[in-house]
A and B are shown apart, each in its own frame.
Chain A
């Protein structure tokens, strides 16, 4: 396995009106090709900041980030992002939302029919083939997130970056989308970096869980490898000792050793 995403000694300091804010310090992380890595931590620990750095949406104030041995200097279609709030363009249909991405990546090399077929295939992959002509406001939150995932997958990215993609969904919809994501990732063998605050989600989906300490100046506290074989079934896993053990380890990190100060106060 090659070292696909390399993060070396990354520092991130934001300058705001109230002065500078040291968000991340000494971040070192290697993500291998085809690996599913989740970033977990309390809110405000900078996990989304780290994802934005990998996406290239923000630039680090120190250290270096490499993707496929090239420095990450700007966002690019090889690092597709699934945003927390789906970020579909409300004036475009589901088809057009995905098509916008497809056109950008493959427009130069493929015919119009091929582009249309790609768009349709991506939407069908996430079970949205029936809603091609619908506008985002006509579909439910879970469906919007599916379209967001379809848009990202349609670009055939080298890495899929997901920023709490299921955070705004109800528990049942979230579970179903997690299962679908597992199936899709198994099929496409995508490399995924996902931000989450959901322990079960992290354990179910990940090859490794990156646990972050609390901010300011957050860093990687611990990395937990999940060696549960795939395909994973959430029903069987519920009593799997490895699963229970991994889950306990993450909860122990988050709530005992790195409890959020607000949580203690409460």
Chain B
């Protein structure tokens, strides 16, 4: 009974196979056999119809919600500050911002520099701390992911140190480096290293066994395994880690600079608080948000460039 059930679909399959043109000439070399049609190389996005006239309703649907959200925020802000004397209104803040950004790169001594300089100094610290973290964290992640022993050695430590607040690391930095700037960079380093370590390690652990089997069958050298299999396979995970890390680094810099001083957006916020210039603090919040967003978008762009379609 089972045999009969088995038999009939196979018979149909064989029958249809017989009708295929290739079936009639098995003795010929494979070169002459029917070649499958080439798949079109066009990415699917290119197939989108090009609009003959401008698609206003589409643009509206895209732009309207975020604009409404922003409007709501400013509206509530304006309502709440209608009768306030201490908290600046949106209009006052906007005026202050115009003045501020009219000359972002002035420099009147170490404690009074334009907002452009402050942002650039902060970005420099982030770049240094984050760059060092990447240089240490990504290779460390590879080693931890590749060797189970190392993984079990370090994962309790990572779990222990990862949730520590950035500011708890600052005194250690000050103690060791005896200077504010390296301490801030150290704080960024130690806080932004974990996402990269963890993500890279997870990526290495999740490299499909099939690819590693291919490497074993081909008997690839450790270098080829690294460059041709591990690195491309881990890259998407790694870039996610990098993205999270940059976000963390940018979060940390503001807090660290508030404590260490010098030129930087965090210090600038604190300085303006001491001057009771609340408009500038609000502007700084927007600036910090926008720079963070820009960093994130930049890394998403890089990640897209290096991702491969499965």
Contacts and interface: CB of A to CB of B under 8 A. Distances in A.
A138 B39 contact: yes
Contacts of A155: 218
B309 to A, nearest CB: 5
Main secondary structure of the interface of A (DSSP, over half): helix
A85 B310 CA distance: 13
B110 interface: no
Contacts, number: 145
A232 B26 contact: yes
Nearest to B15: A238
B2 A255 contact: yes
A85 B210 contact: yes
Given A172-B20, A176-B34, A187 B29 contact: yes
Given A171-B17, A233-B26, A55 B217 contact: yes
A72 to B, nearest CB: 12
A156 B3 CA distance: 40
A89 B7 contact: no
Per DSSP, are chain B's interface residues mostly helix, strand or loop, or mixed?
A: helix
Interface string B17-44: 1101011111111110111101101000
A17 B154 CA distance: 24
Contacts of B22: 175-176, 179-180
B1 to A, nearest CB: 9
A169 to B, nearest CB: 12
Interface string A235-246: 100100000000
A251 B26 contact: no
Given A77-B219, A83-B214, A143-B36, A238 B30 contact: no
Interface stretch (B74-82, B168-176, B178-186, B224-232): B224-232
Interface stretch (A21-29, A127-135, A210-218): A127-135
Contacts of B99: none
Contacts of B308: 90-91, 135, 137
B232 A89 contact: yes
Interface in A156-205: 171-172, 174-176, 179-180, 182-184, 186-187, 199-200
A139 interface: yes
A76 B219 CA distance: 6
A144 to B, nearest CB: 11
Interface residues of A, number: 62
Contacts of B210: 83, 85, 87
B14 interface: yes
A146 to B, nearest CB: 8
A75 B24 CA distance: 37
B206 to A, nearest CB: 14
Given A104-B224, A139-B39, A171-B13, A124 B31 contact: yes
B3 A251 contact: yes
Given A172-B20, A251-B3, A179 B35 contact: no
B3 to A, nearest CB: 5
Contact of A127 (B7, B30, B211, B309): B30
B274 interface: no
A100 B224 contact: yes
B216 interface: yes
A171 B216 contact: no
For the complex of A and B, 6 pairs with smallest distance between CB atoms: A175-B17, A231-B27, A171-B13, A91-B232, A176-B22, A87-B210
Interface of B: 2-3, 6-7, 10, 13-14, 16-18, 20, 22-31, 33-36, 38-39, 41, 210-211, 213-214, 216-221, 224, 228-229, 232-233, 308-310
Given A77-B219, A124-B31, A183-B28, 18 more contacts: A74-B216, A75-B219, A81-B213, A100-B218, A126-B30, A127-B30, A131-B38, A138-B41, A139-B39, A140-B36, A183-B33, A232-B26, A233-B26, A234-B23, A235-B23, A255-B3, A255-B6, A264-B2
12 contacts: A75-B219, A76-B217, A81-B213, A125-B31, A127-B31, A171-B16, A172-B17, A175-B22, A176-B23, A187-B29, A200-B14, A231-B27
